[in-house]
Structure 1
Amino acid sequence: MGGDAGGIERVYRRRRGLPWLQFGLLGVICANAFFQAVNFEDPNARLDGPPAWLPLTAGLLVTATIARVGLEQLRAHTRVTAAGITVQGRLRSRSWAWHEVYDIRVEPAPRGNGRLGPGWLTYLYDNEGRRHLLWHLDDRQLTDPYAEVSELCLSAAPYRSLIWEPRPAVEERIRRGVARRRGWTWALYISLAVLLAMFVVDFWTIVDGRPDHPFLLLVCVPLASFALLGTLLSRFWQPRGGYPPAQP
């Protein structure tokens, strides 16, 4: 992070080392998936294993994940100036003038544990209540992101035409956004359980000598359950309140 004498010119980039453990685990999974894909193309390979397209698809997904994480670490950053905030994402950037920023909040990461990823992330909320991630303004790159955001909000106050105060209409949109995200998150968890169950069903049909349908069981059913549950849960999940503002 760099800053000028006024304290408002700041750039948040990756400061600590790359998450090599995360890259290593993804690399091992990717290599194993491609090995399995090549192995199942061998006519002498076992016939009771998964179809050849399954490990190949898994390998491609893991490769895409590695590329995404690499772009996050090397390219993504957040720039704060007197004019506003600019977020450079993996491929494109987006800017907000200060009067377009409703709030900046530090929130717990969905799956962060402090080792494989940050435990706390910082989000910008615009005047419509939409949430946007501020890259590298987290507890992996900063010692105390909450204190950093509080200082940032105080430094930005002279450049805003509005004071930092809650607005009921925007807070309600934020709460509904929290409910939608939780609904889709639970839909993902349940769909993963459905996928595991479909693995068991597919294995049982093979053992029982009946025709198996791996694409239907391992792809179509989990995706359909995710879409259906996500739509229902995100619509009917009751909001219980958003996160408190990060600034004092």
Structure 2
Amino acid sequence: MGGDTGGIERVYRRRRGLPWQYLGMAGLLCVNALLQVEHTSADDPYAPKWRPWVLLALVAVAVVRVLLEQFRAYTRVTAAGITAQGALRSRTWAWHEVYDIRVERAPRGSGRMAPQWLTYLYDLEGRRFLLRHLDDWQLDDPYAEVSELCLAAAPRRSLTWERRPNVEERILRRAARRKAWTWAAYGALITFFVMVVLDIGMVATGSPEHEFLLFVCVPLASFGILGAVLDRYWTSRPPRSLVQGP
């Protein structure tokens, strides 16, 4: 955290590195991708050459993004507003543009390899933005830190921190939309694995293979259809888990 001027000037950067389990998993993925690239031609000269290279590219992109998130990203809080620097781009909000700052539980499945509590900025349109490194990995008590920030920023805002029904409704609908497309992504992943099993069966029976159709078109179609259906349903009837208390 940077210097403190009047209780509001501060910068949140990485203080704690990634756990060794995370780094070990990333290393294993990289090694596996390299081995796949090296041995595909030798093991099966008729196998598609694009598979291992796509895997290697995806792993490389993921590793680079994680490194940028760790060493480039930060959150800066000043008397003028908040700046969130991400892996590639930054965004700044003046205090009058900030509706609320909330500490929320991280998505399920993060386990010990990711923060359990994350901090988000909400604007007046109900849009949510992650404030990086303002979490329980880098801070002992992110909730107390955010409460202190909101208290210090109150005199610099033309608005109070009170909740507004119209903005809360927008936040709820956007949360329902995120949930819908997250579940659509899960459905597309399940569809992909089903297509892998189907492709194995086709190879075993000598049937013609349609890899692009099975591994790209079908999962993407399932993602779009499932996302559209869930989006329409959940935005009109938000799940109880998204309904915020008073």
Shorter-chain TM-score tier: over 0.9
Q: Unpaired segments of 5 or more residues in structure 2?
A: none
Shift of 1:5: 4.6
Q: Establish whether residue 200 from structure 1 lines up as the match of residue 197 from structure 2.
A: yes
1:2 is matched with which residue? 2
The match for 2:89 among 85, 88, 92 is 92
Name the CA shift for 1:2/1:90 in 2 (closer, same or farther; >3 Å).
Answer: same
Q: Secondary structure at the match of 2:112?
A: coil
Name the CA shift for 1:74/1:113 in 2 (closer, same or farther; >3 Å).
Answer: same
The match for 1:169 among 132, 149, 166 is 166
Shift of 1:194: 0.8
Aligned residue type for 1:115: R
Q: Which stretch of the first structure deviates more once superposed, 213-222 or 165-174?
A: 213-222
Shift of 1:53: 1.6
Shift of 1:188: 1.1
> Taking structure 2 as the reference length, what is the TM-score of the superposition?
0.92
Q: Establish whether residue 66 from structure 1 lines up as the match of residue 44 from structure 2.
A: no
The match for 1:187 among 175, 184, 188 is 184
Q: Secondary structure at the match of 2:15?
A: coil
Aligned residue type for 2:44: R
Q: Secondary structure at the match of 1:60?
A: helix
1:155 is matched with which residue? 152
Q: Establish whether residue 46 from structure 1 lines up as the match of residue 44 from structure 2.
A: yes
Q: Secondary structure at the match of 1:169?
A: helix
Question: Which structure is higher in RCO with an 8 Å CA cutoff and minimum separation 6?
Answer: 1
Shift of 1:228: 1.5
Shift of 1:210: 1.0
Aligned residue type for 2:148: E
The match for 1:133 among 120, 126, 130 is 130
In the alignment, the residues of structure 1 paired with residue 35 and residue 97 of structure 2 have an alpha-carbon distance, to the nearest angstrom, of 50
Name the CA shift for 1:80/1:244 in 2 (closer, same or farther; >3 Å).
Answer: farther
Shift of 1:89: 1.1
Q: Establish whether residue 107 from structure 1 lines up as the match of residue 101 from structure 2.
A: no
2:13 is matched with which residue? 13
Shift of 1:15: 0.5
> Contact (CA 8 Å) 1:105, 1:244: kept in 2 or not?
no
**Identity rate of aligned residues, in percent?**
62
2:121 is matched with which residue? 124
> Contact (CA 8 Å) 2:98, 2:121: kept in 1 or not?
yes
Q: Which stretch of the first structure deviates more once superposed, 31-40 or 234-243?
A: 234-243
Q: Establish whether residue 28 from structure 1 lines up as the match of residue 25 from structure 2.
A: no
Name the CA shift for 1:244/1:106 in 2 (closer, same or farther; >3 Å).
Answer: farther
1:225 is matched with which residue? 222
Task: Give deviations 1:59-117, integer Å, cap 9, x for gaps.
Answer: 11111000000000000000001111011111221110100000001111124645211
Q: Unpaired segments of 5 or more residues in structure 1?
A: none
Task: Give deviations 1:141-162, integer Å, cap 9, x for gaps.
Answer: 1111111111111111111111
Q: Which stretch of the first structure deviates more once superposed, 233-242 or 217-226?
A: 233-242
> Contact (CA 8 Å) 2:96, 2:157: kept in 1 or not?
yes
Q: Which stretch of the first structure deviates more once superposed, 59-68 or 233-242?
A: 233-242
Q: After TM superposition, list the pairs within 5 Å mapping 1:231-242 onto structure 2.
A: 231-237=228-234, 238-239=237-238, 240=240, 241-242=242-243
Alignment RMSD: 1.8
Kindly tell me the number of residue pairs found equivalent between the two proteins. Answer: 242
Shift of 1:244: 6.0
Shift of 1:41: 2.2
Q: Which stretch of the first structure deviates more once superposed, 229-238 or 50-59?
A: 50-59
1:37 is matched with which residue? 37
Q: Which stretch of the first structure deviates more once superposed, 235-244 or 215-224?
A: 235-244
> Contact (CA 8 Å) 1:85, 1:98: kept in 2 or not?
yes
In the alignment, the residues of structure 2 paired with residue 64 and residue 138 of structure 1 have an alpha-carbon distance, to the nearest angstrom, of 24
